[in-house]
Amino acid sequence: MDDFDQYRAEMNEKLLGSGHLGIKRFFALDTQAYEDGTLDKKTKELMGLTASIVLRCDDCITYHIKQCVGCGVTRAEFMDAFNVALVVGGSITIPHLRRAVDKLDQVLENGN
């Protein structure tokens, strides 16, 4: 587990450990939303990645890059997805795409 995954795991535990039922249920919905359904997991993860880029959330982008790699998304498919997000979200997304392509290379090379 890299630093990102570890911090993510520890703080999720803090949030869930608070015992707030609403937060706990939201986290369950979040996990279930990307599972194979009428649309398959790969398509949903690509949708989650696009949403994360246009909403400009680096941690969300990192998370969905890892999930997409796990679903077999190729580098060329990532670039095609980045392009859709760039056109929809505009140049304001470019700093996030720079960090995204950096992270993508790390994940493809090191598995993390």
Which spans of this chain sit near a copy of itself (rule: CB under 8 A)? 7-8, 11-12, 14-15, 18-20, 22-23, 25-26, 29-30, 32-34, 37-39, 43-44, 46-48, 50-52, 54-60, 74-77, 79-95, 97-99, 101-102, 105
**Closest distance of CB 37 from a copy of itself, Å:** 5
**Closest distance of CB 66 from a copy of itself, Å:** 14
Q: How far apart are CA 111 and CA 81, in angstroms?
A: 20
Please name the residues in contact with 12: beta carbons below 8 A apart, sequence gap of 6 or more. Answer: 27
**Closest distance of CB 31 from a copy of itself, Å:** 9
What separation, in Å, do the N-terminal and C-terminal C-alpha atoms of the chain show?
8
CA distances 88 to 16, 24, 57, 61, Å, are 34, 32, 15, 16
**Closest distance of CB 69 from a copy of itself, Å:** 15
The smaller minimum CB distance to a copy of itself, of residues 12 and 112, is found at: 12
Judge whether 56 and 92 are in contact, CB under 8 Å: yes
